[in-house]
C-alpha cells in the first residue's frame, strides 16, 4: 500500500469505530427514553 493510504487507513481505524459506539449509545438512550 502507498504510504498515504496506510496512514489514511490508520487514522480511519483510530478515529471512526470508537466515537461510533458512543454515538450508538446516545441513539440507544434516545430510543429508550420513557420506556
Judged by the rule CB under 8 A, the positions of this chain that interact with other proteins are 1, 3, 6-7, 9-10, 13-14, 17-19, 21-22, 24-26, 28-29, 31-33, 35
Q: How far is the CB of 30 from other proteins (least distance, A)?
A: 9
| Cell digits of residue 19 | 466515537
Q: How far is the CB of 29 from other proteins (least distance, A)?
A: 4
- For residue 16, give the DSSP letter: S
Q: How far is the CB of 7 from other proteins (least distance, A)?
A: 6
Helix (H, G, I), strand (E, B) or coil at 34: coil
Of 19, 1, 21, 34, which Cα lies nearest the Cα of 9? 1
Amino acid at each position: 500500500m502507498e504510504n498515504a493510504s496506510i496512514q489514511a487507513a490508520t487514522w480511519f481505524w483510530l478515529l471512526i469505530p470508537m466515537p461510533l459506539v458512543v454515538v450508538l449509545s446516545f441513539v440507544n438512550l434516545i430510543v429508550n427514553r420513557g420506556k
